[in-house]
Amino acid sequence: MQNTRYLIIGGSAAGIACAQTIKDNIPKADVTILSDEPDKPYFRPLIPYILTGKKTVSDISMLGSGPYTHRDLKVLTGCMASKVDTVNKIVFANTQEYPYDKLLIASGSRANIPKELEGQLCKGVFALRKLNDAREMIEILPSTKHVVMLGGGLVNLKTAFALVEIGIKVTLVVQSLEILSQIMEPQDAYLLKDAIVKSGINIITGKKAVGVIKKNNSALAVALDDQQEIPCEIVCIGKGVKPNVEFLDGSGIKVDGGVVVDRFTACNIPDIYSAGDVAVTYNPITGQKVLTGLWTNAVEMGKCAGLNMIGCPTAYAGTFGVMNATQIGGIPFVSMGTVHTKDGDFEVYTHKGRDSYRKVVFSKDGTRLIGIILISDISKAGIYRYLIREGRDITSIKDLIINHKINYASVMK
Amino acid sequence: MKNPKEIFVNVKKCTGCKTCEIACAVEHSKAKNLYSAISELPTVKPRLSVEWHLSGKSIPVLCRQCDDAPCMHACITGAIRRDSRGVVVTDTDKCIGCWTCVMVCPFGVIGRHLQTHKAYRCDRCPDRDTPACVQACPTGALVFAQSDEYSRDKRLAFVSEIAEATKEKA
Tell me, yes or no, whether A380 lies in a domain. yes
* Nearest-CA distance B169 → chain A (Å): 33
- A65 neighbourhood in chain B, CB within 8 Å: 78, 81, 94
- Whether residues A106 and A246 share a domain: the answer is yes
Is the CB of residue A409 less than 8 Å away from at least one CB of chain B? Answer: yes
Q: Which domain holds residue B105?
A: 64-121
The verdict on a CB contact (< 8 Å) between A410 and B78 is no
Is the CB of residue A326 less than 8 Å away from at least one CB of chain B? Answer: yes
3-state secondary structure of A120: helix
- B72 neighbourhood in chain A, CB within 8 Å: 66-67
Instruction: Name A254's Cβ contacts closer than 8 Å, sequence gap at least 6.
Output: A260, A267, A268
Out of A43, A296, A408, closest to residue B61 by CB: A408
Q: Write the DSSP assignment of A272-339 as a string of letters.
A: EEE-GGGEEEE-TTT--EE----HHHHHHHHHHHHHHHTT---------S-EEEEEETTEEEEEEES-
- Whether residues A94 and A19 share a domain: the answer is yes
Tell me the CATH number at B142. 3.30.70
Tell me, yes or no, whether A318 lies in a domain. no
The verdict on a CB contact (< 8 Å) between B102 and A336 is no
3-state secondary structure of A73: coil
Radius of gyration of chain B (CA): 18
* Nearest-CA distance A60 → chain B (Å): 7
pLDDT tens per residue, range B133-147: 999 999 999 999 999
- Whether residues A218 and A282 share a domain: the answer is no
- B79 neighbourhood in chain A, CB within 8 Å: 66
The verdict on a CB contact (< 8 Å) between B97 and A17 is no
Tell me, yes or no, whether A33 lies in a domain. yes
- Whether residues A295 and A207 share a domain: the answer is no
The verdict on a CB contact (< 8 Å) between A46 and B77 is yes
Q: Which DSSP symbol is given to A407?
A: -
- Whether residues B91 and B44 share a domain: the answer is no
The verdict on a CB contact (< 8 Å) between A17 and B72 is no
Out of A323, A336, A380, closest to residue B108 by CB: A380
Number of domains chain B contains: 2
- Whether residues A132 and A216 share a domain: the answer is yes
Ramachandran class of B97: left when φ > 0, alpha when ψ lies in -120 to 50, beta otherwise: left
Instruction: Name B158's Cβ contacts closer than 8 Å, sequence gap at least 6.
Output: none
Q: ipTM exceeding 0.85?
A: yes
How many of the other CB atoms lie within 10 Å of CB of A149? 29
Closest CA to B19 of B64, B50, B47: B50
Tell me, yes or no, whether B126 lies in a domain. no
How many of the other CB atoms lie within 10 Å of CB of A57? 14
Q: Which residues 290-309 in chain A show a CB within 8 A of chain B?
A: 295-296, 299-300, 303
CB-CB contact of A111 with A239 (8 Å): yes
- Whether residues A162 and A179 share a domain: the answer is yes
The verdict on a CB contact (< 8 Å) between A66 and B111 is no
Q: Which residue of B has its CA nearest to A302?
A: B73
Residues of B with a Cβ under 8 Å from any A Cβ are 49, 51-54, 57-59, 61, 69-70, 72-82, 94, 96-100, 102-112
Q: Which residue of A has its CA nearest to B62?
A: A408
- B57 neighbourhood in chain A, CB within 8 Å: 409
The verdict on a CB contact (< 8 Å) between B74 and A69 is no
- Whether residues B56 and B70 share a domain: the answer is no
Tell me the CATH number at A216. 3.50.50.60
Q: Which domain holds residue A53?
A: 5-110+242-309
Tell me, yes or no, whether A315 lies in a domain. no
The verdict on a CB contact (< 8 Å) between B81 and A66 is yes
- A412 neighbourhood in chain B, CB within 8 Å: 53, 59
Q: What does each of the 413 residues of chain A score in pLDDT, given as a tens digit?
A: 458 999 999 999 999 999 999 999 999 999 999 999 999 999 999 999 999 999 999 999 999 999 999 988 999 999 999 999 999 999 999 999 999 999 999 999 999 999 888 887 888 999 999 999 999 999 999 999 999 999 999 999 999 999 999 999 999 999 998 999 999 999 999 999 999 999 999 999 999 999 999 888 888 999 999 999 999 999 999 999 999 999 999 999 999 999 999 999 999 999 999 999 999 988 888 888 999 889 999 999 999 999 999 999 999 988 888 999 999 989 999 999 999 999 889 999 999 988 999 999 999 999 999 999 999 999 999 999 999 999 999 999 999 999 999 999 999 87
Angstrom distance (rounded) from CA B55 to CA B66: 26
Tell me, yes or no, whether B150 lies in a domain. yes
CB-CB contact of A43 with B96 (8 Å): no
Instruction: Name A302's Cβ contacts closer than 8 Å, sequence gap at least 6.
Output: A13, A14, A15, A16, A17, A18, A21, A104, A106, A275, A276
- CA dist B61 → B4, B26, B46, B51 (Å): 19, 18, 11, 7
The verdict on a CB contact (< 8 Å) between B51 and A408 is yes
Angstrom distance (rounded) from CA B80 to CA A159: 24
- B99 neighbourhood in chain A, CB within 8 Å: 325-327, 332, 334, 378, 381
SS (H, E, C) A131-196: HHHHHHHHHHHHHCCEEEEECCCHHHHHHHHHHHHCCCEEEEEECCCCCCCCCCCHHHCHHHHHHH
Please give the interface size between A and B, counted as residue pairs whose CB atoms are below 8 Å apart: 124
pLDDT tens per residue, range B5-37: 999 999 999 999 999 999 999 999 999 999 999
Confidence of residue B94 (pLDDT cuts 50, 70, 90): very high
Of A190, A211, A239, the one marking the end of a domain is A239
Angstrom distance (rounded) from CA A236 to CA A392: 42
Angstrom distance (rounded) from CA A213 to CA A229: 8
Within A44-89, strands assigned E span: 74-76, 81-85
- Whether residues B58 and B135 share a domain: the answer is yes
Instruction: Name A194's Cβ contacts closer than 8 Å, sequence gap at least 6.
Output: none
- Whether residues B50 and B78 share a domain: the answer is no
The verdict on a CB contact (< 8 Å) between B98 and A45 is yes
Out of A300, A325, A396, closest to residue B54 by CB: A396
CB-CB contact of A179 with A172 (8 Å): yes
Angstrom distance (rounded) from CA A368 to CA A398: 9
Identity of the residue numbered A87: V
- Whether residues A235 and A259 share a domain: the answer is no
The verdict on a CB contact (< 8 Å) between A67 and B72 is yes
Tell me, yes or no, whether B93 lies in a domain. yes
* Nearest-CA distance A230 → chain B (Å): 32
Choose the most confident range, by mean pLDDT, from A176-180, B62-66, B154-158.
B62-66
Q: What is the pTM of this model?
A: 0.93
- Whether residues B51 and B135 share a domain: the answer is yes
Average pLDDT, chain B: 94
Tell me the CATH number at A356. 3.30.390.30
Tell me the CATH number at B81. 3.30.70.20
- Whether residues A276 and A382 share a domain: the answer is no
3-state secondary structure of A248: helix
Of A200, A223, A239, the one marking the end of a domain is A239
Angstrom distance (rounded) from CA B88 to CA B81: 6
The verdict on a CB contact (< 8 Å) between B111 and A59 is no
- Whether residues B96 and B146 share a domain: the answer is no
Tell me, yes or no, whether B164 lies in a domain. yes
- Whether residues A228 and A264 share a domain: the answer is no
Out of B79, B107, B112, closest to residue A379 by CB: B112
Of A209, A224, A239, the one marking the end of a domain is A239
Tell me, yes or no, whether A377 lies in a domain. yes
- B87 neighbourhood in chain A, CB within 8 Å: none
* Sign, Cα dihedral of A136, A142, A143, A149: positive
- Whether residues B68 and B152 share a domain: the answer is no
- CA dist A128 → A273, A358, B39 (Å): 28, 31, 44
The verdict on a CB contact (< 8 Å) between B77 and A60 is yes
Number of domains chain A contains: 3
